[in-house]
Structure 1
Amino acid sequence: MTGLPWDASYQDGPAPWDVGGPQPAVVRLAAAGGFTGAVLDAGCGTGENALHVASLGLPVLGFDVAETALAIAAENAQGRNAEFTVADALGLHRLGRTFDTVLDCGLFHTFDADERPRYAASLSTVAKPGATLYVLCFSDAGPDTGPHPISRDDLREAFTSQTGWAVAAIEPDRVLTRFHGDSGAPAWLATITRGQACIEVSVR
């Protein structure tokens, strides 16, 4: 899909999900040693989460479809070991690289039900066996949910052995936006492990 609608979100000031720093959940994961090896930030936006992880000394690649956001991320990199590129989330095999840790902060909930398994399968093509994926997405456990809230079942139905994954945990959390006040919106933080299963869902 074209990135133009997403790019427009960054052209007249910060996007609704651009809070000027890393998400608290990502900071906690990083402090607990949750990120190891080469890291992929899926739907990185202006790169605050990617740059926080890179500040720990880890190599990070962030991808998005919004070129304006990626330009801001690259400008803010300031010599840290972070790269940013345009990529299609449903065709990540084209990156030609694999990663030990993958972060999805706010991308999964933008896909509809038919796209989610394709996206999960696409992620599996760039995740090493045993890699860890963290998904932070809007939760359906209100009140004051964000747009396109996701249920625990939505996560489990997308990240299956058929798409190359095993869900280890789905815990309630919060995700900051520019419109939900200091405490943010209800979220799920899912911890998911890359398995060895054959991928049966098309990633074309």
Structure 2
Amino acid sequence: MPEDPFGGRKPTSHERMTGLPWDASYHEGPAPWDFGGPQPAVVRAAGRFTGTVLDAGCGSGENALHLVSRGLPVLGVDVAETALETAREKNRERGLDAEFATADALHLERLQCRFDTVLDCGLFHAFDADERVAYVKSLEAVTKGTLYILCFSEGESAGPHPVKREALTKPFGAGWRVKSIEVERVQTRFHDESGAPAWFATIEREPARE
């Protein structure tokens, strides 16, 4: 019986569309979003990150490693084992102490841990509307402070999964507060140096009501 390329999990809408698991994006060189460094938007916002950090959909680890270099304890998770191995190798080469683990972003409750800060760089926009609802539910289990989302927006040179502003905020209901949505750019290997139009959202968990 052939090995399941999705590791027993339900393929995401993007994977169903391409017919390939996320891991395949890393098999023949860098993935389209892996341009060789941390996203400039994440670098600019790094001073806002506090406490323990979860990088959901960390890919080959550049954002996680940048945050660790600033003294933050970071766990990066992904379903792409090839990307995780690359991230671990970078971690060793740079003498850093980030942690990387396999985890499904739609089932983050399996981590059985909560984080002061959660980063989503380029994951939200890859989910369809139903998956985003499930994803936000998953994030509820691990976020005790602030969630930062960097995702494609609409406009000239838009990325392959453009997100309307209202589509970004819609899944976040009770228990969340959308503090701000800033206009940003996302760097990829297929855009010029100015990158693609993006949103950078700051979304806070609200204290549970008595």
TM-score (norm 1): 0.90
Q: Does 1:194 align with 2:205?
A: yes
Q: Does 1:165 align with 2:176?
A: yes
Which residue in the other structure is 2:157 paired with?
A: 144
Aligned length: 191
Structure of larger gyration radius: 2
How far 1:196 sits from its partner (Å)?
A: 3.0
| Equivalent residue in structure 2 for 1:105, among 95, 113, 121 | 121
Distance, in Å, in 2 between the alignment partners of 1:195 and 1:90 is 21
> Over the residues paired in the alignment, what is the CA RMSD in angstroms?
1.3
Which residue in the other structure is 2:30 paired with?
A: 14
Which residue in the other structure is 1:40 paired with?
A: 54
Of Structure 1 and Structure 2, the greater helix share is in 2
Distance, in Å, in 1 between the alignment partners of 2:172 and 2:130 is 13
Distance, in Å, in 2 between the alignment partners of 1:148 and 1:174 is 14
Distance, in Å, in 1 between the alignment partners of 2:36 and 2:97 is 20
Residue deviations 1:87-139 (CA, integer Å, cap 9, x gap):
111111110111000100000001000111110111110111xx111100000
Is the contact between residue 166 and residue 195 of structure 1 (CA under 8 Å) also seen in structure 2?
yes
Which residue in the other structure is 2:105 paired with?
A: 89
Code of the aligned partner of 1:117: V
For residues 119-134 of structure 1, the aligned pairs below 5 Å read 119-128=135-144, 131-134=145-148
Distance, in Å, in 1 between the alignment partners of 2:208 and 2:31 is 37
Distance, in Å, in 2 between the alignment partners of 1:67 and 1:101 is 23
Q: Does 1:184 align with 2:195?
A: yes
Distance, in Å, in 2 between the alignment partners of 1:152 and 1:112 is 15
- Between 1:60-69 and 1:74-83, the stretch displaced more is 74-83
Secondary structure in structure 1 of the residue aligned to 2:67: helix
Fraction of identical pairs, as percent? 66
Distance, in Å, in 2 between the alignment partners of 1:37 and 1:17 is 27
Distance, in Å, in 1 between the alignment partners of 2:126 and 2:185 is 17
Which residue in the other structure is 2:167 paired with?
A: 154
Which residue in the other structure is 2:7 paired with?
A: none
The answer for unaligned runs of 5 or more in structure 1 is 199-204
Is the contact between residue 137 and residue 187 of structure 1 (CA under 8 Å) also seen in structure 2?
yes
How far 1:81 sits from its partner (Å)?
A: 2.5
Secondary structure in structure 1 of the residue aligned to 2:203: strand
Secondary structure in structure 2 of the residue aligned to 1:190: strand
The answer for unaligned runs of 5 or more in structure 2 is 1-9
Which residue in the other structure is 2:86 paired with?
A: 72
